[in-house]
Homo-oligomer: A and B are copies of this chain.
Amino acid sequence: MAPSLENNPAFNRIPPWVKAKLRPQAIEIIQRVYDWVETECIPAERVVQAQLQNNRWKTAPLIHELRKKAKAQGLFNIFLPNHFKESPGLTNLEYACCAEIMGRCYWAAQTMNCHAPETGNIELLAKYCNDAQKEKWLKPLMDGDMSSAYSMTEPDRASSDATTIACSMKRDGDELVINGRKLYGNSQMNDELGIYILMGCSDPENPNPWARHTMVIVPARSKGLTMKRNLTIMGYDHAPEGHGEYVYENVRVPAANIILGEGRAFEIAQGRLGPGRIHHCMRLIGQTERAFELALIRCIDERKKPRGKLIGEFDSNIERVAYMRMRLDSMRQIVMNAADTMDIMGNKAGRYAIAQSKVLIPKMAADIIDECMQIWGGQGLTQYTALPEMWTYARFVRLADGPDSSHAHQVGRDQMKTAKGFETRHKQYQQRYHELCKQWNVEEDIF
């Protein structure tokens, strides 16, 4: 039903340099993802809404069915980059093209098991778990048989600086005893939730602040673990996944659940967050494209003719549409480059490109979607379109995985370190200027 790749807009917007890097098998998957999202997901959005109305904390039956179908068709877990042995084989760049398309529908990624926090968690488990752990947790996650949560943020700490994380983990024999409070991490109310990947402080006195923390897998129904409330985001409950606020009171977990080793949480955290951040950004672009399409559709709505002109006939809106288009395409360049950088140089070397995406894209996305809502006029903020949910998701990503400012500070501090080199270079210019003044018999201008 969906238009074929050659004349489909999602494919045409891919920059030439990216297209040139896509292997035939990737192009085929992109086309299949596009058909899937256009045919199975977008038209079903209101069906899913209706199903959730009845049973707020259960995955909608339609989504369950789609997950089965997608798995059967090999469209499952395609986010996992090709350097993992469990990977279906796409590069980060190739997956980026898929992720953008998935972003067009809020839950499309979920039908392909490519949604947050699953992707970050699966990549983490694939990278750092031993075989026994993988068998126990990675397999069911990749099979889509359970879901997982990532639990780091705390209400009583500035979690953007993860060294302040305080949730206490004390070793007691071959168990860890956990006490503390956590924010975010999916809601316990959804009974498909199987595990939390929890970051806590196991060695608070360690002189090295990067060696104090540990990551451990906590079964979702552990004794002593209670969910205090579901966190709403701009009023949305985000059911049936939700965002829990948790209290740990003497929760006991086998030490065998520790990932990589005690005190190695930062090693893991650094590896985890890169791709996850990029996935968010990729999907945001797809979502913003869809918002843009909705704005365009409004622009030619014959029922809306203030002062006798279509909305799209106003020069001011023509300019708005142009700037939205140009910004959107800039966003894509930024994210595609980050994905490509990860492919070529690895996640660690790509840290800056990832931060650049994480800081710039969600803000631009939210701004563009906001403008689309405004173009829609009186109906722009209502349930007439998915624009309000889209804005909320973009806004949310400005805080998820660290607020803008913490990433910007990291980038800024790194830049400051380069200043010395430029100063040295500047002095070399001055020295050469001195020579040139002599050579050309010009009076030196000293500042």
B158→A408 contact, CB < 8 A? no
The answer to whether the Cβ of A207 comes within 8 Å of any Cβ in the partner chain is no
- A-side interface size class: 35 or more
Interface string of A302-327 (1 = CB under 8 A from B): 01111100011011111111110111
Tell me which of B159, B243, B411, B435 contacts A377 (CB under 8 A). Answer: B159
CB distance from A148 to the nearest CB of B (A): 19
Q: In the complex, which residue of chain B has the Cβ closest to the Cβ of A39?
A: B432
Looking at chain A's contact residues, the main secondary structure is helix
Chain B contacts for A396, CB-based, 8 A: 381
Chain B contacts for A430, CB-based, 8 A: 43
Instruction: Given A164-B306, A341-B16, verify A312-B416 contact (CB < 8 Å).
Output: yes
Q: In the complex, which residue of chain B has the Cβ closest to the Cβ of A325?
A: B415
Binds B, one of A115-123, A125-133, A266-274, A328-336: A328-336
B231→A297 contact, CB < 8 A? no
Q: In the complex, which residue of chain B has the Cβ closest to the Cβ of A166?
A: B303
Tell me which of B20, B235, B333, B408 contacts A323 (CB under 8 A). Answer: B408
The answer to whether the Cβ of A72 comes within 8 Å of any Cβ in the partner chain is no
CB distance from A146 to the nearest CB of B (A): 25
| Central interface residue in A62, A233, A319, A329, by most chain B CB within 10 Å | A319
A296→B419 contact, CB < 8 A? yes
Binds B, one of A23-31, A190-198, A438-446: A438-446
Tell me which of B157, B235, B325, B425 contacts A392 (CB under 8 A). Answer: B235
